[in-house]
């Protein structure tokens, strides 16, 4: 069998870190080869060697009978490799068609002047868009399309470059169930054309659905490669984490009923822009309340309204019976509300901060006066707090002095969660907290949420991951079109019931 690409004994050292240690990997034509491992295991590092971003410290890459010590971005493109990054890299200000031809726009001469040949690129782009079912006008600006469509643009771009090897690094982390199905349909078509796909995901369920083979990495080392048809997903967990994972994080129903103390209450909240309407709910002591529904159903919009990030036209918010007046997010923070936002790339972390600086941002803001203008800094205490959070979340880093930007995707995410856990809030809103987080760390985060709930904090979790809602939340509130369409207790909740409430037209 001729491999599309073979990577032999790859090693990658960064200052102070061995990100990959002697890892081998091979991709066959027409297969989906899943790359699996905990946050920081080295998955992104390995595939970035194929795109020419990472220059291996050691190893050999064999493509089409040729051996390379490393690839440059140019060599990577020549060898028909396309990489769709963990964070999408389409350019919002350009049209779909322009994105497909970035850096290689065809020109034509008109009266001696060289002009971009828009007719040709739009026609060609349409061909690739049709192939993957992206129903848009090629001249539409990318900023006007959804995340899943942006991802389809990335795939169309890979096709336009006639890629034979396509790498997808956590492609479904921001996709809804339907969008994920659509992506899988596209992937199955790519396979039929003999294209090989390297697929990275933390959603273990997807492996059975789309994978042919799976290779597991752990702490930068190779653990093993298996045929997906011959295994159960649960077999992979010990290969990845080497310890047992507790599945159920539900609270004690009787205790919750008995305490029954309402910590947090929202009454008839409606956002000015109407994206969330007439929202009322309570969170009791010891309880984790989940918010389910389709992407775009208004859950994040509702939380932004509560947190003062977006204006509301009506609604009352109570903490332990006392009404809160929240004008903006600073006020929300001051009055005891913390929110881990969904869109972490834009509202996530500071590019030029290390871990302890990042972790102290929220605490300092809460302590400060005059809307965050003044405040005392205390490096020693801040470091200690950051170390505590790193330990609690098992964040993989060399020390709290490491720059957040140099961490793996999932570990950046843990730093962001850590900085919110670090503040002493009464209400914690987690919006898709485990996006990009590995299976072991997820379980740790749920356990922390549970502990906080039992300590009397109001815990709210918005999640599109139904298994996550079911194993963690004592009550699930379902949204549809900006309104609450159902409330389910943990004993009665099932994926079907959540879906039913999320989509049924009444």
Query: Which one of residues 40, 298, 315, 348 is an interface residue with ligand ATP (CB under 6 A)?
Result: 40
- The SS3 of residue 201 is coil
Under the binding rule (CB under 6 A), the answer on residue 14 touching ligand ATP is yes
Distance CA(173)–CA(482), nearest Å, equals 22
Q: How far is the CB of 410 from Mg ion (least distance, A)?
A: 7
Which of positions 104-123 make contact with ligand ATP (CB under 6 A)?
A: none
Nearest residue to Mg ion, using CB? Answer: 44
141-150 burial code (b ≥16 CB/10 A, e <16): ebeebeebbb
Residue 123: CB partners within 8 Å, gap ≥ 6?
Answer: none
Least gap, CB of 182 to ligand ATP (angstroms): 23
Footprint of ligand ATP on 467-506 (CB under 6 A):
none
- Alpha helical stretches, state H, 193-322: 204-210, 233-241, 253-259, 299-306
CB of 357 to ligand ATP, least distance (A): 17
- Altogether, the residues listed in the chain come to a count of 506
* Residue closer to ligand ATP, measured from CB, 114 or 351: 351
CB of 410 to ligand ATP, least distance (A): 3
Among 19, 422, 493, 501, binds ligand ATP (CB under 6 A): 19
409 binds Mg ion (CB under 5 A): yes
Residues 35-64 that bind Mg ion (CB under 5 A): 44
Q: Where are the alpha helices (DSSP H) in 242-339?
A: 253-259, 299-306, 329-334
Q: Taking CB under 5 A as the rule, does residue 220 contact Mg ion?
A: no
x/- site string to ligand ATP, residues 388 to 417, per CB under 6 A?
--------x---------xxxxxx------
**Closer of 277 and 396 to ligand ATP (Cβ):** 396
What b-and-e string marks burial along 334-358, b requiring 16 or more CB atoms within 10 Å of the CB? bbbbbbbbbebeeebbeeebbbbbb
Q: Is 42 in the site for ligand ATP (CB under 6 A)?
A: yes
State the nearest-atom distance from the C-beta of 407 to ligand ATP, in Å: 5
Distance CA 326, CA 311 (A): 10
Q: What are phi and psi of 321, to 5 degrees?
A: 85, -10
For position 462 contacting ligand ATP by CB under 6 A, the verdict is no
For residue 15, the 8-state DSSP code is T
What kind and span of H or E run contains 383? helix 379-393
Q: Closer to ligand ATP at the Cβ: 408 or 463?
A: 408
Cα 382 to chain centroid distance, Å, stands at 27
Site residues (CB under 5 A) for Mg ion?
A: 44, 408-409
Site residues (CB under 6 A) for ligand ATP?
A: 14, 17, 19, 37, 39-45, 396, 406-411, 438
């Amino acid at each position: 069998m001729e491999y599309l690409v073979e990577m032999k004994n790859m090693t990658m050292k960064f200052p102070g870190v061995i990100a990959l240690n002697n890892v081998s990997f091979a991709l066959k034509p027409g297969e989906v080869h899943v790359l699996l491992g905990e946050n920081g295991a080295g998955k992104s590092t390995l595939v970035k060697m194929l795109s020419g971003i990472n220059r291996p410290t050691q190893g050999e890459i064999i493509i089409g009978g040729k051996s390379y010590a490393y690839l440059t971005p140019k060599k990577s493109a020549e060898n028909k490799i396309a990489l769709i990054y963990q964070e999408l890299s389409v350019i919002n200000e350009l049209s779909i068609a322009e994105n497909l031809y970035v850096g290689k726009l065809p020109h034509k001469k008109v009266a001696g002047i060289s002009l971009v040949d828009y007719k040709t690129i739009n026609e060609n782009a349409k061909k690739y868009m049709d192939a993957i079912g992206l129903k848009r006008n090629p001249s539409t600006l990318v900023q006007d399309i959804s995340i899943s469509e942006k991802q389809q643009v990335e795939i169309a771009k890979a096709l336009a470059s006639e890629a034979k090897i396509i790498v997808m690094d956590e492609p479904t982390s921001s996709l809804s169930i339907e969008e994920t199905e659509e992506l899988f349909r596209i992937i199955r078509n790519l396979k039929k054309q003999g294209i090989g796909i390297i697929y990275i995901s933390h959603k273990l369920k997807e492996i059975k659905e789309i994978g042919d083979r799976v290779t597991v990495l752990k702490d930068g080392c190779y653990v093993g490669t298996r045929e997906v048809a011959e295994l159960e997903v649960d077999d992979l967990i010990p290969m990845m984490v080497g310890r047992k994972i507790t599945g159920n994080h539900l609270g004690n129903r009787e205790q919750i009923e008995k305490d029954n103390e309402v910590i947090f209450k929202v009454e008839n909240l409606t956002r000015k822009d109407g994206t969330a309407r007439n929202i009322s709910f309570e969170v009791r002591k010891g309880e984790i309340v989940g918010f389910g529904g389709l992407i775009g159903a208004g859950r994040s919009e509702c939380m932004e309204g509560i947190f003062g990030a977006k204006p509301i036209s009506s609604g009352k918010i109570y903490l332990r019976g006392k009404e809160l007046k929240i004008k903006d997010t600073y006020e929300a923070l001051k009055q005891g509300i913390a929110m881990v936002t969904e869109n972490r790339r834009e509202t996530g972390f500071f590019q030029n901060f290390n871990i302890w600086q990042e972790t102290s941002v929220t605490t300092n803001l809460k302590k400060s006066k005059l809307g965050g203008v003044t405040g005392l800094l205390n490096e020693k205490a801040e470091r200690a707090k950051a170390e505590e959070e790193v330990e609690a979340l098992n964040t993989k880093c060399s020390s709290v002095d490491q720059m957040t930007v140099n961490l793996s995707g999932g570990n950046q995410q843990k730093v962001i969660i850590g900085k919110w856990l670090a503040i002493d809030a009464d209400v914690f809103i987690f919006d898709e907290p485990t996006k990009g987080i590995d299976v072991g760390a997820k379980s740790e985060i749920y356990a922390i949420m549970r502990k906080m709930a039992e300590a009397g904090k109001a815990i709210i979790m918005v999640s599109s991951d139904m298994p996550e809602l079911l194993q963690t939340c004592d009550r699930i509130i379902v949204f549809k079109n900006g309104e609450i369409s159902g409330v389910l207790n943990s004993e009665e909740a099932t994926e079907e019931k959540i879906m039913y409430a999320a989509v049924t037209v009444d």
